[in-house]
Structure 1
């Protein structure tokens, strides 16, 4: 079984890369577009496998960081791919996708991890220092980048002025960099999993893959990411047309993109929770939310120089309300350092409310 899995994760990025070469720049019929979508999802799943191999080599919390950054690369590429079309509604795509990523990670990934962990292990434990610090950074970054544009007066309609956008991009990068330094160096122990007694578990002593295996996974991870980025260009019209045909607001495209790119994080976090390593799940979920804002928004701020549409980042009242409730519930979840499936279900209800109101605003 292991050999089959390894063979599958080795071949799929290469097949996806070949498909990218054959389809690049061509308008695909529906059947081929659907096939491309299947390959894209497969490449995402292969990417998470190889990211986890590299993560095992470098240890936690570096592993969660690698996967979060890899997923963010996919997200930025998908957003820019759709925004370059210049179609109506793409000016809010970055906002919709970034906010959807925050809601999916803070409520979906965290909620699912707590539900699975709480169901199997009854009571799960994690580090309130690390989870609380991550949640605080997510709240700060999201408020600065997505909430403030709805209230600033230099530019109308949820837009930052050029100076404001530059300032927000710089402080987002600085805050994210400081958090990464804290997570991986100065206070690394805050982000390690804990056992049933609350004792921190450093799993760096576990037998890691060889350097050769890690390097092969690195190459295949890069191939998978390039494939996902390129194949997204062929799939994006299908996503847009499908949302339009269903009579759903165009803003839901951002939710679809976020769900797609966060699939690897969700799978990895769920597996960690079932192993009673909920701290790893929180590192993945909150770390992805942080990377989405701290890396995606600055990247798009630079890309906005040549993008054909303005970068509208301001959230609406319903979104701001859901975000505020998410942060309050998240704080009450992480402060005790332990949780049951009740907290998981509460977060999942918030995610369901977000998705429902995105479809039926």
Structure 2
């Protein structure tokens, strides 16, 4: 055990933990100094330091996530990173709702920003770099189709339906409970199928990638290696330590992002930038570890892992965030505005249609990636219009 602990808690891992949590403590102590309005030089210096710490911690998260993914295999390895980040993000949104101030649109703005970032920016970059390097990526069409089917339904329930059946963009109290129940039921059913009977639908099908996985002993059922239950039983201590280290390293990323929001609002307010831009920047930072891991997977030609990480993250974000905020709103009497603007609904519809078209083919190319990046650029343009 001591040797195992030393192999996981390396000096670099300990440094990242100390740096991340030290920065969180320092920001807590410096709260009065950083209260708006902050002098411009101090504001810039604080933001640079926070982003630097977040980047260091993000690479640590990626390191642990890749070890877990290689040990467990997909889809289980990708789920560890996805759920750890998404669950913390949901807790963060809940904390904002329960805090002081009026935050009736926090869930809507967060889900919309994350949707555009993941489906267009991150996936666009992955397909672009993966397509340029390997000619094309070959995801498992059955698995990606399942992800996209979930997203069409969940995004419609979250952002479109309230505009048509709700009041002032919010579900009525009588509508909230059915939406919570069907959303959680669908998400839970999907997870059970993904980790059980349909697990093979979320594994690599590209012969080039499968050959490398077989050589490294990462493929379970198709190479005689024990299934995930056997792997967990055999390596329980290592998996628990790495999962704990991953969560301990990702928490400072989310907490620092939350603290950075006030500084960004202050700085962007002085520049006359739109308020929604702050939410986009925070979402970019929070999902940075997942984005880095996805880009590394694309460079390795792992098309299905890109889908597992990106599409899986968004399915979990919508499937957990919307029920959570509706329950909190119902218990606290807060109005939760979910309906998006017509322009954003159009962009979301185009994004989902483009995603279905992109991943319906056997080979996804750099051209598909470029199309996704253009949609994200248009979304960025609408933020300033």
Equivalenced residue count is 355
Which residue is 1:172 aligned to? 183
2:240 aligned with 1:215, yes or no? yes
Aligned match of 2:206: 195
Match of 1:276 in 2: 301
Say whether residues 1:251 and 2:276 are aligned partners.
yes
Aligned partner of 2:316 among 288, 291, 295: 291
Of 119, 134, 152, the residue aligned with 1:106 is 119
Equivalence for 2:17: 13
Matched, 1:76 2:90: yes
Q: Which of 160, 168, 174 is equivalent to 1:163?
A: 174
Say if 2:147 is the partner of 1:142. no
Higher mean C-alpha displacement, 97-106 vs 297-306: 297-306
User: Bigger CA drift: 209-218 or 95-104?
Assistant: 209-218
Q: Say if 1:306 and 1:59 are closer, same or farther in 2 by CA, change over 3 A.
A: same
Cα distance, 1:20 vs structure 2: 2.9
Which residue does 1:151 correspond to in 2?
A: 164
Distance 1:13 1:322, change over 3 A: same
**Deviation >6 Å, runs of 4+:** 197-202, 206-209
Deviation at 1:241, TM superposition (A): 1.3
Q: Deviations over 1:142-181 (max 9, x none)?
A: 001111111114x2x2111223222222222111111112
Change (3 A) 1:73 1:275: same
Residues 233 and 341 of structure 1: CA distance in aligned 2, closer, same or farther (over 3 Å): closer
Q: 1:63 aligns with which of 77, 84, 90?
A: 77
Query: What is the Cα deviation at residue 43 of structure 1?
Result: 2.7
Q: Does 2:209 align with 1:204? A: no
Tell me the residue number matched to 2:140. 127
Asked whether the 8 Å contact 1:79–1:93 carries over to 2, the reply is yes
Q: Which runs of 5+ in 2 are unaligned?
A: 1-6, 35-42, 226-230
* 283-292 vs 237-246, greater mean Cα deviation: 237-246
What CA RMSD, in Å, does the superposition of the two structures yield over aligned residues? 2.9
- Cα deviations by residue, 1:41-69 (Å, 9 ceiling, x for unpaired): 43333223223322322221011111111
How far the C-alpha of 1:40 sits from its partner, in A, is 3.5
Task: Kindly indicate whether the alpha-carbon contact (under 8 Å) linking 1:83 and 1:308 is maintained by their aligned counterparts in 2.
Answer: no
Instruction: Provide the TM-score with structure 1 as the length reference.
Output: 0.88
The structure having more radius of gyration, on CA atoms, is 2
